[in-house]
Amino acid sequence: MGSDPIGMPAEVLAELRAHARAEAPRECCGLLLGTVGSIARSERARNIAPEATRYLVHPEDHFRAVRVARAEGLDVIGAYHSHPASEPVPSPTDIAEANSGPEFVYVIVSLLNDEVRAYRFEGGRPEPLALSSSL
């Protein structure tokens, strides 16, 4: 765990960047659907956090993503959000609020440099994951 790259189609990567640009200067957020080791698609969610520099997935959108995943034979394997003005590195808030299992993937999209990074949290610490994108 931790060193194996996670697959993400180029069109999903493009969608994450487009969502981040559309919501700026607020953080965007959404869920990632797929199987262990492979992201198949993303589901946008409404960010209901009152602060522009935090995210909180709307519960209705979370339930919708779970239903969509089940209907497509997938699982909700992760979440994504944007950092409109900072590097794609987990903030202290991101670290404090990460509460999913060790297989859950967190993806951060930075509008500062258009970079996208993935992480898993092990023992409360972010562990970088390599992203493997196919065209």
Q: What is the pLDDT of residues 59-95, one digit of tens each?
A: 999 999 999 999 999 999 999 999 999 999 999 999 9
| Amino acid of residue 107 | V
SS3 letters across 22-51: HHCCCCCEEEEEEECCEEEEEEEECECCCC
1 falls within a domain? no
Residue 118: give the domain boundaries: 6-129
Omega before 5 within 30 of 0, i.e. cis? no
Q: Looking at residue 2, what is its pLDDT? A: 47
Domain annotation covers residue 70: yes
Supply angle C-alpha 62, 60, 65, rounded to 5. Answer: 35
- What residues act catalytically? 27
Kindly state whether residue 104 falls inside one of the protein's structural domains: yes
Mean pLDDT of the chain: 92
In a domain, 90, yes or no: yes
**Phi (first) and psi of residue 74, to 5 degrees:** -115, 180
Residue 73 lies in a domain: yes
Model pLDDT, residue 3: 59
CA distance 106 to 66: 17
In a domain, 134, yes or no: no
CATH number at 104 reads: 3.40.140.10
- Residue 105, in any domain of the structure: yes
Asked whether residue 135 is domain-assigned, the answer is no
Amino acid (one-letter) located at 101: G
Burial of 91 from C-beta contacts in 10 A (0-12 / 13-18 / 19+): middle
Q: Does the pLDDT value for residue 1 go beyond 80?
A: no
The domain tally of the chain equals 1
